[in-house]
Amino acid sequence: MTVLLTVAATWNGANFADALNGGGTGIDLGSVINGQYAPVVSQPGNTGAKDVFIFHDATVDPITDVKTYLQQYGVGTGFTYGGANSAAADFTKILNMGNTDTMGGAVANNSDGLGNGLHVEMDWDVSTANQFLGSRVGTFCRIYGDNGGATSGEGRNLATAIDLKLDAMSNSQNTGTEIAPTAAVTGSIGRKYSINAASAALLGDLGHTKMRFYLRTDEVDGGILQWEWVIAYSFTA
């Protein structure tokens, strides 16, 4: 039996279906200007992020080895590229941007103008003040392309994929009021609470991440960037 993922904006929602340039659908992070991030609500308040909930329809076992990476737009989806350059150039650009991120340890809102690229926060109940802190990069927060860009950076392919941390797992309680599972495991998402409450209580039935796209103050290239965010996982049929 195939196990299907849902990648949604809410704990029990449908897959993201934002309209994308070129005719595809997916996640639109919005517009970002130099020295800020997207989506942004209040930069001084460090508010604004794209909440992403990952869950599955397995009825017997959890899914394991959950990890994420980027690939060139259109390779997996078949969507027509609608950006400002080319799909290949965007893929390289995004990973290289992540490699040039040099935010200070106490900076999360890009007030220093040194944040760049796609960041993922993997602590579902992180405080507003602490989310995306530079000091959390490498642990709770990761940057695609960090430590090498398109050539050797993390999250550029399956071999360098970023594990979904256990801190991203939550138990929905089938109400949307999330609580921490009792024995979360990195890379494992339990069965939905409505299917098996014990599995959800133990491992969590949601992988809850937050995403932002940062832009350095000195970034010169503009226009629409597109990429594919791939979620890899293992399951028992």
Tokens of 205: 């039935």
Please tell me the pTM assigned to this model: 0.96
d(CA 118, CA 96) in angstroms, rounded, equals 10
Q: How far apart are the first and last CA of the chain?
A: 5
pLDDT in tens, the chain (237 residues): 689 999 999 999 999 999 999 999 999 999 999 999 999 999 999 999 999 999 999 999 999 999 999 999 999 999 999 999 999 999 999 999 999 999 888 899 999 999 999 999 999 999 999 999 999 999 999 999 999 999 999 999 999 999 999 999 999 999 999 999 999 999 999 999 999 999 999 999 999 999 999 999 999 888 999 999 999 999 986
Give the DSSP letter of residue 5: E
State whether residue 50 is helix, strand or coil.
Answer: strand
Cβ-based burial of 10 (10 A; exposed 0-12, middle 13-18, buried ≥19): exposed
Q: Determine the pLDDT at residue 221.
A: 83
| Contact criterion met (CB below 8 Å) for 202 and 35 | no
Domain carrying residue 144: 5-234
Structural domain tally of the chain?
Answer: 1
| Contact criterion met (CB below 8 Å) for 230 and 91 | no
How does 32-44 read in b/e, with b if 16+ C-beta sit within 10 Å? Answer: beebbbbbbeeee
